[in-house]
């Protein structure tokens, strides 16, 4: 248990710690000379039944409230000191407000210097104290009259402290390791040592840690926990860590830094929070109001962005965004205190909600609903509520990190809530079980509707499908989800296309009939210079747009390729032309050939030959250097999948042969340019780029 003193200057905090522990924590020359505490003091007291109580003694001077804050943020139990001969004074109230804002619930009141006060005065001050405590978490705390001069009350106090240590027990070592640094020094023969309170988790000798926010890595060489050599330090211990690392030195680490589990290192400088303004404030908080933010042992400038319509007035509590001057190492749920910029008074404080607060759309109803979920505090309840709100999924890794959750804690919560996990690269997204079922149902019905409306298409484009569904998962997560469904045999993926496992492309009878008339024109002796759409339209006496539309459709299912604008070649012919290139390259000592050689092999016009080669260039089948080309061995089978010398009308069972090029690039969520059509050709204008000289 860590006991922290609090109270007005000169009320006897340090004397009391000295009487209890035998340690004079006012060690600085200046402290001795001025008779006041300036820096934090530390002392220990072993309880008879085993545990060691740690004491943090804080200064009472109004100029050192920031130091008091650094000391108070890690304590379990407050020894709230009020001198019987002086009564409630300004820092009595300010320290009390801070203790309350930090959420400290356990403590008692030491009515010090009782030897200097009459019984009547004692009773008066005690009543005063009871009144000011009544509106805080310490309401009803016991008031013990004491004197370090006469020894009155000291034994009683000691007894109460041991009893509290016993009943509070150890803090659970939940979460990943975090230690708020309050001192950093060099010890001869040992090296760099940092001290502080372990806020969560535990650390063991040999562990790798990171000093955040700077990001220095270090190894824990040795540990003192509660003033004794130890193999481990746990939440609630005051620890001294001997750190070793390339950039580790006493100067490199300062009060306010946090030593933590490397997984947790992710400094935040824009944090959504819930803030309470103290009732003693005279004015409401204004938009972009500058403040001093005190968190753990750190202190930085920040601005307040009000997120709610109603003003944040004295005594009020509202959600705000804190925009920090410099990043800090924090966790969601951590408490903080706000002081005015001239460091003269404490104005309020609260709890962090979201360390990755958005700079835009920060006060939309959707965002405020998320913050409401985050206000639930307990990670399991927060996650359950977040999963039910927009966007309908949660980045589980980020959630665990920002709540400092250990792996097994996250696993337990995920299991308790039946969260469906979708992994994508390094990230894992979680969906609530109901959301997941709904998403799957809508996905299937969307595909069904699409197939019904477009029986001639191989499927819906990946991106188009993604944008139609709620929740709209990030592309990599959606890709991974589809792959999962594909493995389960529920959907099939063909390059950029997604379809139901049972779907097959069907041409309408009219289209099938028209294709039966067009196909022969593209085959035979003229296959290397087939008629263009206009010529086909003329010969067959059908409107050219019909020919073009059908040719593109046939292209999507991989039976033809638009080599140049409105100039379609059978896929089998394209494969044959690739083979011609291969033969030419094989016959050439350098592996290179000219356009003229290519033209001669096909007995073609120069213009058409060039267009074919440029088509190959675009698809990386040929690699051009000046007038020469060679074949790209990695791409030779690009048009080979449907190589089929004979010309047949498209049969429905061949519809699966979607363009092999338009595979989705799951990294960016966009597809590469397919042979025909875009990532989702159905939703795009005709792919006029294809075939035009580039």
In whole angstroms, give the CA distance from residue 430 to residue 355.
Answer: 19
Q: Are 358 and 366 in contact (CB under 8 A)?
A: no
Q: Is 95 in the site for ligand GTP (CB under 6 A)?
A: no
Q: Which of residues 273-292 bind ligand GTP (CB under 6 A)?
A: none
The residue (of 83 and 406) whose beta carbon lies closer to Mg ion is 83
CB of 61 to Mg ion, least distance (A): 9
Whole-number minimum distance, CB 348 to ligand GTP, in Å? 24
Contact between 15 and ligand GTP by CB under 6 A: the answer reads yes
CB closer to ligand GTP out of 154 and 602 = 154
As measured in angstroms, the least distance from the Cβ of 58 to ligand GTP is 7
What lies within 8 Å, CB to CB, of 50 at 6+ separation is none
For the CB of residue 87, give the shortest distance to ligand GTP in the complex, in Å: 14
Phi, psi of 614 (to 5 degrees): -65, -35
Three-class secondary structure of residue 354 per DSSP = strand
- Rounded to whole angstroms, how far apart are CA atoms 243 and 250? 10
Under rule CB under 6 A, residue 205 binds ligand GTP: no
CB of 12 to ligand GTP, least distance (A): 3
Peptide bond before residue 271 is cis, with ω within 30 degrees of 0 = no
Which backbone phi and psi does 201 adopt, to 5 degrees?
70, -160
In b/e form, how buried is each residue of 359-393, taking b as 16+ CB within 10 angstroms?
eeebbeeebeebbebbeeeebeebbbbbbebeebb
**Interface with ligand GTP, residue 14, by CB under 6 A:** yes
Half-sphere exposure of 66 (CA within 13 A, CB side): 16
Cβ proximity to Mg ion, 72 vs 277, nearer residue: 72
- Which residue shows structure tokens 């307040």? 304
37 binds ligand GTP (CB under 6 A): yes
The three-state secondary structure class of 125 is helix
Which of ligand GTP, Mg ion, none does residue 582 bind (CB under 5 to 8 Å by kind)?
A: none
Contact flag: residue 60 with ligand GTP (CB under 6 A): yes
Residues 103-132 that bind ligand GTP (CB under 6 A): 112-113, 115-116
Residue 324: which of 352, 291, 297 has the closest Cα?
291
Structure tokens at 349: 């404080």
466 interface partner picked from ligand GTP, Mg ion, none, CB below 5 to 8 A per type: none
Q: Are 275 and 317 in contact (CB under 8 A)?
A: yes
Residues 6+ apart with CB under 8 A from 346: 65, 94, 97, 98, 101, 278, 337, 338, 339
- Chosen from Mg ion, ligand GTP, none, partner binding at 116 (C-beta under 5 to 8 Å by type): ligand GTP
Alpha helices (runs of H) in 358-489, residue ranges in sequence order: 365-374, 379-387, 396-402, 407-416, 433-453, 462-468, 475-487
**Cβ 67 to Mg ion shortest distance, Å:** 11
Residue 11 contact among Mg ion, ligand GTP, none, beta carbon within 5 to 8 Å by kind: ligand GTP
> Exactly one of 1, 3, 6, 9 binds ligand GTP (CB under 6 A); which one?
9
Does residue number 195 form part of the binding site for ligand GTP (CB under 6 A)? Answer: no
Q: Whose Cβ is closer to ligand GTP: residue 71's or residue 655's?
A: 71
**Positions in the binding site for Mg ion (CB under 5 A):** 13-14, 37
Indicate which of ligand GTP, Mg ion, none lies near residue 136 (CB less than 5 to 8 Å, by partner kind). Answer: none
61 binds ligand GTP (CB under 6 A): yes
Say if residue 646 is exposed, middle or buried (CB neighbours under 10 Å; 0-12, 13-18, 19+): exposed
Question: Closest distance between ligand GTP and the C-beta of residue 64, in Å?
Answer: 8
Kindly state the smallest distance separating residue 101's Cβ from Mg ion, in Å: 22
- Piece in contact with ligand GTP (CB under 6 A), picked from 11-19, 288-296, 445-453, 489-497: 11-19
Q: Which is nearer to Mg ion, 24 or 544 (CB)?
A: 24
Give the shortest CB-213-to-ligand GTP separation in angstroms.
30
| Beta strand spans in 98-162 (E) | 106-112, 143-145
Q: With CB cut-offs between 5 and 8 Å by kind, which of ligand GTP, Mg ion, none does residue 12 bind?
A: ligand GTP
Residue 283: CA count within 13 A, CB half-sphere = 5
Instruction: Name the residue with the smallest CB distance to ligand GTP.
Output: 60
Rule CB under 6 A: say whether 12 interacts with ligand GTP: yes
Number of shown-chain residues binding ligand GTP (CB under 6 A)? 19
Q: Which of residues 130-189 bind ligand GTP (CB under 6 A)?
A: 147-149
CB 184 within 8 A of CB 255: yes
Q: CB of residue 65 vs ligand GTP: minimum separation in angstroms? A: 11
Residue 36 binding ligand GTP, by CB under 6 A: yes
Cβ-contact 79, 110 below 8 angstroms: yes
Q: Which residues bind ligand GTP (CB under 6 A)?
A: 9-15, 36-37, 59-61, 112-113, 115-116, 147-149
């Amino acid at each position: 248990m860590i006991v922290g003193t609090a109270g007005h200057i000169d009320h006897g905090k340090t004397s009391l710690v000295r009487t209890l522990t035998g340690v004079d924590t006012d060690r600085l020359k200046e402290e001795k000379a001025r008779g006041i505490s300036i820096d934090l003091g530390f002392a220990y007291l072993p309880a008879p039944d085993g545990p060691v109580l740690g004491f943090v003694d804080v200064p009472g001077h109004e100029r050192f409230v920031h130091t008091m804050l650094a000391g108070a943020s890690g304590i379990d139990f407050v020894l709230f000191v009020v001198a019987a001969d002086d009564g409630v004074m300004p820092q009595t109230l300010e320290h009390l407000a801070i203790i309350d804002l930090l959420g400290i619930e356990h403590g008692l009141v030491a009515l010090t210097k009782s030897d200097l006060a009459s019984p009547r005065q004692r009773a008066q001050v005690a009543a005063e104290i009871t009144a000011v405590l009544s509106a805080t978490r310490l309401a009803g705390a016991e008031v013990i009259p004491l004197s370090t001069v006469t020894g009155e009350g000291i034994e009683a106090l000691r007894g109460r402290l041991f009893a509290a240590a016993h009943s509070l027990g150890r803090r659970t070592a939940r979460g990943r390791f975090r230690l708020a640094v309050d001192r950093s020094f060099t010890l001869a023969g040992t090296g760099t040592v940092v001290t502080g309170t372990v806020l969560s988790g535990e650390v063991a000798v040999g562990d790798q840690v990171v000093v955040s926010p700077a990001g220095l890595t270090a190894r824990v060489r040795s540990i003192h926990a509660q003033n004794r050599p130890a193999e481990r330090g746990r939440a609630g211990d005051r620890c001294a860590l001997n750190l070793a690392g390339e950039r580790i030195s006493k100067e490199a680490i300062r009060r306010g830094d946090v030593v933590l589990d490397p997984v947790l290192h992710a400094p935040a400088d824009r944090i959504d929070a819930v803030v309470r303004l103290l009732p003693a404030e005279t004015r409401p908080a204004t938009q972009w109001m500058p403040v001093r933010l005190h968190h753990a042992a750190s202190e930085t400038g920040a601005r307040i962005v009000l997120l709610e319509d109603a003003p944040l007035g004295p005594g009020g509590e509202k959600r705000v965004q804190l925009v920090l001057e410099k990043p800090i190492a924090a966790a969601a749920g951590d408490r903080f205190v706000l002081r005015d910029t001239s460091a003269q008074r404490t104005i309020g404080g609260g709890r962090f909600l979201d360390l990755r607060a958005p700079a835009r759309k920060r006060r939309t109803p959707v965002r405020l609903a998320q913050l409401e979920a985050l206000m639930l505090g307990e990670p399991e309840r927060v996650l359950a509520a977040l999963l039910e709100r927009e966007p309908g999924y949660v980045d589980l890794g980020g959630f665990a990190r920002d709540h400092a959750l250990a792996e097994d804690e996250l696993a337990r919560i995920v299991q308790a809530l039946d969260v469906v996990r979708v992994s994508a690269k390094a990230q894992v997204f979680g969906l609530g079980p109901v959301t997941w079922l709904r998403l799957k149902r809508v996905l299937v019905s969307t595909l069904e509707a699409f197939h019904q409306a477009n029986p001639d298409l191989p499927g819906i484009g990946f991106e188009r499908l993604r944008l139609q569904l709620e929740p709209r998962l990030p592309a990599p997560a959606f890709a991974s989800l589809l792959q999962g469904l594909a493995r389960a045999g529920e959907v099939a993926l063909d390059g950029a296309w997604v379809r139901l496992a049972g779907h097959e492309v069907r041409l309408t009878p009219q289209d099938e009939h028209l294709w039966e008339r067009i196909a022969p024109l593209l085959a035979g002796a003229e296959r290397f210079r087939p008629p263009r759409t206009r010529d086909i339209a003329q010969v067959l006496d059908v409107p050219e747009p019909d020919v073009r539309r059908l040719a593109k459709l046939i292209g999507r299912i991989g039976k033809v390729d638009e080599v140049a604008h409105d100039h379609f070649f059978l896929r089998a012919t394209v494969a044959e032309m690739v083979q011609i290139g291969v033969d030419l390259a094989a016959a050439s000592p350098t592996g290179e050939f000219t356009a003229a050689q290519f033209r001669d092999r096909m007995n073609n016009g120069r213009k058409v030959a060039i267009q074919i080669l440029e088509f190959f260039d675009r698809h990386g089948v040929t690699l051009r250097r000046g007038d020469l080309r060679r074949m790209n061995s990695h791409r030779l089978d690009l048009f080979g999948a449907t190589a089929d010398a004979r010309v047949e009308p498209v049969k429905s069972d061949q519809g699966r042969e979607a363009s092999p090029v338009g595979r989705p690039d799951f990294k960016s969520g966009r597809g590469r340019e397919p042979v025909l059509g875009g990532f989702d050709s159905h939703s795009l204008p005709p792919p006029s780029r294809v075939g035009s000289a580039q």
